[in-house]
């Protein structure tokens, strides 16, 4: 680190170990009590002459906001893998470098996805509600039955790092794994999965479908009524990627009709206020966009952002640059 500690600002409070490193190695105000929005961060960057801005989805930087970033800012470091909240080309055009946090989220996101699969198939939301209400009676032999995960066919849409990690976990449940991706992977990366170039041809074979691809701004949902109709009756949808990938009206129709047995969701079209109709369905297992929410992963994400700030301040290449 140079003798003069670089000044950074952050839009959210970070895990304790990350905050301790900020206190030791950087110049910064105390962490905010609540997430800061874009306007607050831009004002703070100007006031504090910040060298780097650490942001999350709470602080989108697009359009006029990019133009409003003061010239003192040399780096926007997002504490995420996803870049939906950033206009990367505009930032780079202004000469502001961008970095994110790939790789360190992979295992925890795959773990959460496996939890969603198990919870959706075994009706965990209903079981939990029953127990919180006091249980009180013996269940009938044919009452509140879930579906077995072991031996089922899992379809993965998007076979990147997280998709591959999920495929490895699925093998422990003796699942047959299929995948759809922009390209066929090398056999060493396929984790024993079978490739389908056409998603529509893969869907009829999927007892469980898990989404692991980015969403393109303004693009229509990937999973529509027609796509749900191609899945077998009684199948399960899991989405821990992006809410925009799913037409939630079509999902509700498929669940209410019984065409889909259940769903496991970590992401939604409207966050943090998901569709009340989804919340009202008793079987859906839902989590609040928490794929990376472990001490280990959130700490690693914050540390990686700080590694990037330190590298740039020292005149070295970024550790995890975003270039396009």
Looking at the annotation, which residues are catalytic?
A: 242, 271, 289
Residues 324 and 321: their CA atoms lie apart, in Å, by 9
C-beta separation of 70 from 95 below 8 A:
no
Tell me how far the alpha carbon of residue 321 is from its chain's centroid. Answer: 19
Label each residue of 37-64 as H, E or C: CHHHHHHHHHHHCCCEEEECCCCCECCH
Place of tokens 């019984």: 258
C-beta separation of 249 from 221 below 8 A:
no
Place of tokens 């709470």: 58
Query: Which residues are bridge partners to 156 per DSSP?
Result: 179, 210
List phi, psi (to 5°) of 235: -85, 175
Q: Specify the DSSP element, H or E, that contains 264.
A: strand 260-265
Task: Output the CA angle 72-309-42, nearest 5 degrees.
Answer: 40
Counting every residue written for the chain, the total comes to 324
C-beta separation of 282 from 76 below 8 A:
no
Among the listed residues 105, 217, 121, 207, the one whose alpha carbon sits nearest the alpha carbon of residue 163: 105
Among the listed residues 167, 164, 168, 171, the one whose alpha carbon sits nearest the alpha carbon of residue 150: 171
User: Coil, strand or helix: which one is 299?
Assistant: helix
Give 58-103 as a DSSP string: TS-B-THHHHHS-TT--EEEESSS--TTB-HHHHHHTT-EEE---S
């Amino acid at each position: 680190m140079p003798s003069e500690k670089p000044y950074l600002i952050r839009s959210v409070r970070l895990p304790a170990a990350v905050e301790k490193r900020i206190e030791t190695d950087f110049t910064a105000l105390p962490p905010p009590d609540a997430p800061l929005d874009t306007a607050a961060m831009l004002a703070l960057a100007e006031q504090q002459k910040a060298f780097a801005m650490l942001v999350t989805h709470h602080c989108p930087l697009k359009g006029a906001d990019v133009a409003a970033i003061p010239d003192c800012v040399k780096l926007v470091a997002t504490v995420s893998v996803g870049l939906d909240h950033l206009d990367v080309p505009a930032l780079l055009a202004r000469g502001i470098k961008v970095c994110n946090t790939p790789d360190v989220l992979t295992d925890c996101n795959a773990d959460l996805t496996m939890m969603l699969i198990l919870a959706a198939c075994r009706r965990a939301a209903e079981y939990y509600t029953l127990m919180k209400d006091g249980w009180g009676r013996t269940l009938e032999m044919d009452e509140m039955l879930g579906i077995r995960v072991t031996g089922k066919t899992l379809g993965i849409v998007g076979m990147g790092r997280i998709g591959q990690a999920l495929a490895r976990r699925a093998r422990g449940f003796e699942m047959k794994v299929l995948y759809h991706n922009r390209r066929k992977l090398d056999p060493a990366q396929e984790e024993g999965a079978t490739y389908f170039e056409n998603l529509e041809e893969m869907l009829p074979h999927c007892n469980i479908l898990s989404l692991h691809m980015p969403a393109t701004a303004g693009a229509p949902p990937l999973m529509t009524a027609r796509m749900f109709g191609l899945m077998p009756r009684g199948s399960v949808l899991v989405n821990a990627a992006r809410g925009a990938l799913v037409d939630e009206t079509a999902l509700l129709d498929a669940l209410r009709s019984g065409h889909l047995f259940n769903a496991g969701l970590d992401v939604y079209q409207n966050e943090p206020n998901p569709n009340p109709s989804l919340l009202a369905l008793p079987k859906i297992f839902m989590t609040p966009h928490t794929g990376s929410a472990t001490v280990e992963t959130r700490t690693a994400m914050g540390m990686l952002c700080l590694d990037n700030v330190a590298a740039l301040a020292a005149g070295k290449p970024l550790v995890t640059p975003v270039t396009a």
